[in-house]
Structure 1
Amino acid sequence: MKVKIHREGTNILIVLLLILSVVNASAWMFIRPAAIPIVFTSVSGVFYLLVVNFFRSPRRHFPGKVTDSLVVSSVDGRVVALEKVYESEVLHRDVIQLSVFMSVVNVHANWFPVNGVVKLVRHHSGRFLSAYLPKASLENERSTILIRASNGSDVLVRQIAGAVARRIVTYAEVGEEASIEDHLGFIKFGSRVDIFLPLDTEILVKIGDKTVGGITEVARLRDPSQSNS
C-alpha cells in the first residue's frame, strides 16, 4: 500500500512549515534559557507530523472480488450510526443509514462506496455542529452525492462537516464513472460520512466497528433479479 500526501494538504503543509521555521528560528535567537526553545521546537515538530499524518493519502485496492453488489466504507473511522431513516432531501424514502465518524488521526480522503455512475452532486450550506451528533446529517454543512450502482441500486453518500472541519471538497461530478478505488472527495480536520442504502441491503458491520476506506466491505446490495419491484 503506497502512501503520499493528499493534494488538499500540499499548500497547507508548505505554509505551516515556513511559519514554524520562522517562529522556531526566532525562539532560538531571542529566548533564553535554551530549554524553552528546545521544548517549543519539540512541540512544533510533533504538531507538524500530526498534520502530515492527517493529510496522508494511501493508494488502496480492494483485496477481494469486486462485484456489482459490493459496498465498501467511504472512509477510515468508526461506525457511529446504523439505522432505518427517512431520507428527505434526495431519495424521499426509507433507507438504511450507515455513518462512519473520522477522528483527527484518521485518513480523511473519501472513497466511492460502490462502482457505478454519479447521478447527482449537491452542496448544502449549514451549521458546524459536532459531526458525531445524529442531527449533523441534516443540519451541518454537507455535500450529497447520488450514485447509480452497477447493479441498478441508488446509493447516496453524504460528506458532513463538523465542529472543526470547515471545508468539504467534492471531486465527484455528474455523469462520471464511480469506482471504489477512486476518491470522491476530502474533508479537512475531522468529520463524518453517511451512506444511505436500500432497505433490503445486507449489512456486514455493526455500531463501533472500525472501517478502512476503500477496503472494508460494509454491505452487499440485493441482486435486482431477486427484487419484487
Structure 2
Amino acid sequence: MFHKEGSKIIFISIVSMLAVLLLSRYFIPIKWLEMTIQITAVAFLIIVLQFFRNPIRIAAISDNYVLAPVDGKVVVIEEVFEPEYFKDKRLQVSIFMSPINVHVTRYPISGIVKYSKYHPGKYLVAWHAKASTENERTTIVLENKVFGEIMYRQIAGALAKRIINYAEEGTEVVQGDDAGFIKFGSRVDLYFPLGTKINVNLKDVATGAKTIVASL
C-alpha cells in the first residue's frame, strides 16, 4: 500500500522507467551499458516505491498514552523552552526519520486540533540543534482530556522539500490516523508538560502508531 501523496511521483517514475527500458533496448548498442541503464532505472523506481509505502497500522487507542507519530530513531529527550505556543519549558522528544523510514505522520493522541501553523524556513540537516526553530516546519497542538495540550512539530530536513499537514484547527482527530506526510527525510518533535513519564530512551527505534512515547 502506498500513500496518496506519492501517487503523482510514482506514476511519473513508472512511466520514466518504462521509457528508459524501451529506449535503452533499441538505441544502446553496447549490451553492458544497456543493462546498467536498465538496472539503474528499476532501482530508482524501487527507491521511490519504498519511500511512499504506507503500511496499515491499527493503533490501540487510549487516552492514557501518547503514541509515536512517525517511524524513526529517538534522537532527543530533553527539557527545552518552547517559544511558539506554550512559551514555557517543556519536555521535548524528537524522532529522526532517515530516507528509508516510513514517512507518514500519524496523530499521537485523540482530541481536538487547537493550533496548526505552517512556517517556511531553512533546510538544515534534521538533527541540527536549530532545525526545530529555523527549518521549514508545521506546528500542531492537540488537546486531549487526559494529557491536556500536546504539541508535535513536523520538520523538514536537508532532503525534505515539502511537508503535508492534514490537521485543521477545530477538528476532532483520532489517535493513529493519517495526519500528513514529509517528503524525503525529516524529523518530528513532541512537546510534553514537565514531569510527563517518557517511555522511550535515546537511540530507541520508534514505530508510528505503535510505540508508546509517554504515558500517565
Which TM-score bucket, shorter chain as reference? over 0.9
**Cα offsets for 1:175-198 (capped at 9, x unmatched):** 111212211110001100000011
Which position in structure 2 is the counterpart of 1:29? 26
Q: Does 1:216 align with 2:214?
A: no
- Structure 1 segments, 4+ long, off by >3 Å, are none
Q: Which residue of the partner structure matches residue 140 of structure 1? A: 135
Equivalent position of 1:41 in the other structure: 38
Q: Does 1:158 align with 2:143?
A: no
Name the counterpart of 1:5: 2
Give 1:148's aligned amino acid: E
Task: Determine the C-alpha separation between the residues in 1 that align with 2:62 and 2:21.
Answer: 53
Q: Which residue does 1:99 correspond to in 2?
A: 94
Using the aligned pairs only, state the percent identity.
Answer: 40
C-alpha separation in 1, matches of 2:194 and 2:130: 21
Taking structure 1 as the reference length, what is the TM-score of the superposition? Answer: 0.91
Q: Which runs of 5+ in 2 are unaligned?
A: none
Question: Whole-Å Cα distance in 1 between the matches of residues 38 and 144 of structure 2?
Answer: 50
Q: Distance in 2 between matches of 1:60 and 1:191?
A: 20
Residue 61, structure 1, aligned to residue 25, structure 2: no
| Alpha-carbon distance in 1 for matches of 2:152, 2:34 | 46
Structure 1 residue aligned with 2:49: 52
Q: Which amino acid aligns with 2:92?
A: Q
> How far apart, in 1, do the equivalents of 2:147 and 2:75 lie?
27
The question of whether the paired residues in 1 share the 8 Å contact of 2:198 and 2:214 is answered with: yes
1:179, 1:95 → 2: CA distance?
24
Query: Using the alignment, how far apart are the partners of 2:41 and 2:127 within structure 1?
Result: 29
Pick from 95, 109, 115 the counterpart of residue 114 of structure 1.
109
Give 1:50 deviation, angstroms. Answer: 1.4
Greater shift, 34-43 or 119-128, is seen at: 34-43
Residue 118 of structure 1 aligns to a residue in which SS? strand
In structure 2, which of residues 179, 182, 190 is the aligned counterpart of residue 184 of structure 1?
A: 179
State the alpha-carbon separation in 2 of the partners of residues 39 and 23 from structure 1.
11
CA-CA distance at 1:13 after TM superposition: 0.5
CA RMSD of aligned residues (A): 1.1
Q: Is 1:131 matched up with 2:126?
A: yes
Distance in 2, matches of 1:14 and 1:117, equals 35
- Pick which of 209-218 and 152-161 moved more: 152-161
Residues 113-140 of structure 1: CA deviation (Å, up to 9, x unaligned): 1111100100111101101112100000
- Residue 213 of structure 1 aligns to which amino acid in structure 2? G
Q: Which residue of 2 aligns with 1:194?
A: 189
- Runs of 5+ unmatched residues, structure 1: 222-229
Q: 2 CA distance for matches of 1:209 and 1:52?
A: 26
Counterpart for residue 17 of structure 2: 20
